Amino acid sequence: MTEDARPEVAAWNGLVDALRSAGDKLAADTAGLDPTEQADGFRALVRGLSNQLSRFEVDRERPELVPFNGWRHKFLMDNPDFRYWVTEVRGHRAYRLRGNRGDASYMSVTVYRRTGGIGAEATARIDSDTIGFDDDGAFEIVLGGTAPGAGDRLELPEKAGVVWVRFFHDDVARDEMGWCSIDPVVEPPVPPSIDAARFASSLGTLAATTSMLPTIFEMSTKDDLDPPNVLRHWSEMAGGAVFTEPGIHYVRGGWQLGPGEALVVEGDVVECRYWNILAYSRFLNSLDFRYRPVSYTGTTATVVDGRYRFVVATEDPGGSGDWIDSEGRDFGIIVMRFLQPADAPPLPSARVVRLDELRGE
């Protein structure tokens, strides 16, 4: 067998070629942008690759819940007001999920089946309305298998492959974070040290997903530019949103601002379980939430007479509304999430104003 005919060599070369192809497309797509945005595009590509590598070696017999979308691993509309844990399972196995909700105002466990590419469909779920918690917030859920004598159980439907655990936090700066772990109900046999065919296949999946990222960046922002500075209702499974939480209604729009300009977003608070607003780059990464005000929840936002007001700008508007730091980007994306709203949220108004005029209002 020649070196090129070896499956792992072919898969590795495919990954290298995919990285080169993704880089070439991203370079072409960002050619007209300023140097900061050009570099940020490649940072988003590296973060996406890093996210996938953090879950590359998967053991579905002994799965591990991996924290998802930390600041080094931002990937397709991350959300710093949520805490995500992700694992892959086998639909015919049984597992025990344990954890603690911490100060999360809402929690859900959702099972998905893959539908091709990076697409997915939710097939089973349970949330904090029905999960049994003890006085300290601890919980235990059996996934799959036969129903236990007592406690919570979540079915693993046929072809179930991915489990997401979400903790919705009102104030991540002050809340105690939720956590979770997973173990098989029945101890599985010791696996082989490596499954060569599966390893080659995983490299192929990594290559395919990475190669799609520049196209996702490009396609998912088209509506945000046509026209900009307008907020729209957004389908949860379109434009880059995958493995979404059922029951979330999205509102989304892009800003296009010149020097000294700001985007004012105003609207009425709607009856829902939870809501937040968050700013993203054109590469679908949240902006720098570690050091800048780029997201608010229904708890941290300033609500006056049932209304909110956010100002997207390079500088603090000085009391004219909750400031969303644009990081000096002339283009970016705003996404609002409304969990289980009583009715479809009315679209907020959005208007471009001069920052100095806004301060004088």
Q: Model confidence over 28-49: pLDDT tens digits? A: 999 999 999 999 999 999 999 9
Non-local (6+) Cβ contacts of 339 within 8 A are 106, 168, 245, 247, 248, 272, 273, 274, 275
- d(C-alpha 228, C-alpha 141), whole Å: 45
* Burial of 137 per CB tally in 10 Å (0-12, 13-18, 19+): middle
pLDDT at 263 over 70: yes
Mean pLDDT of 157-174: 92
- Give the pLDDT band of residue 237 (cuts 50, 70, 90): very low
Mean pLDDT of 191-220: 92
CB atoms within 10 A of CB 196: 11
- d(C-alpha 153, C-alpha 124), whole Å: 11
- Give the pLDDT band of residue 149 (cuts 50, 70, 90): low
- Give the pLDDT band of residue 185 (cuts 50, 70, 90): very high
Mean pLDDT of 74-83: 92
Mean pLDDT of 294-302: 97
pLDDT at 75 over 50: yes
The pLDDT, as a whole number, for residue 323 is 97
- Give the pLDDT band of residue 318 (cuts 50, 70, 90): confident
Contact status, residue 269 vs residue 338, Cβ threshold 8 Å: no
As a whole number of Å, the CA-based R_g of the chain is 22
Contact status, residue 293 vs residue 314, Cβ threshold 8 Å: no
More confident residue, 13 or 113: 13
pLDDT at 266 over 50: yes
The pLDDT, as a whole number, for residue 4 is 65
pLDDT at 324 over 50: yes
- Give the pLDDT band of residue 3 (cuts 50, 70, 90): low
Q: What is the DSSP string of 10-31?
A: HHHHHHHHHHHHHHHHHHHHTT
Contact status, residue 239 vs residue 219, Cβ threshold 8 Å: yes
Name the residue type at position 331: F
H or E, element range at 336: strand 331-339
The pLDDT, as a whole number, for residue 159 is 82
The pLDDT, as a whole number, for residue 55 is 85
Mean pLDDT of 257-286: 96
Is beta strand 152-154 parallel, antiparallel or unpaired with respect to 138-143?
Answer: parallel
- Give the pLDDT band of residue 81 (cuts 50, 70, 90): very high
pLDDT at 268 over 80: yes
Strands (E), 53-212: 66-68, 82-88, 95-100, 106-116, 119-127, 138-143, 152-154, 162-168, 179-184
Non-local (6+) Cβ contacts of 314 within 8 A are 325, 326, 327, 328, 355
**Which residue, among 94, 92, 66, has the nearest Cα to 185 in the 3D structure?**
94
- Give the pLDDT band of residue 161 (cuts 50, 70, 90): confident
Is beta strand 248-256 parallel, antiparallel or unpaired with respect to 331-339?
Answer: antiparallel
Q: Dihedral sign for Cα 128, 132, 138, 140, please.
A: negative
**How does pLDDT run across 93-124, given as a tens digit for each residue?**
999 999 999 999 999 999 998 776 666 778 88
pLDDT at 236 over 50: no
More confident residue, 69 or 349: 349
pLDDT at 2 over 70: no
Mean pLDDT of 187-213: 92
Q: Is the pTM of this model over 0.85?
A: yes
Q: What are phi and psi of 206, to 5 degrees?
A: -60, -45
Which of left, alpha, beta for 215 (phi over 0: left; psi -120 to 50: alpha)? alpha
Mean pLDDT score across all residues of the chain: 91
Q: What are the chain's domains?
A: 7-184 (2.60.120), 227-358 (2.60.120.600)
From the centroid of its chain, how far is CA 29? 23
Secondary structure of residue 48 in the 3-state scheme: helix
- Angle, CA 32 vertex, CA 30 and CA 36 arms, to 5°: 65
Cis peptide before 345 (omega within 30 of 0): no
The pLDDT, as a whole number, for residue 357 is 87
Is beta strand 307-313 parallel, antiparallel or unpaired with respect to 322-325?
Answer: parallel
- Sequence length of the chain is 361
The pLDDT, as a whole number, for residue 240 is 38
The pLDDT, as a whole number, for residue 82 is 94
The pLDDT, as a whole number, for residue 5 is 78
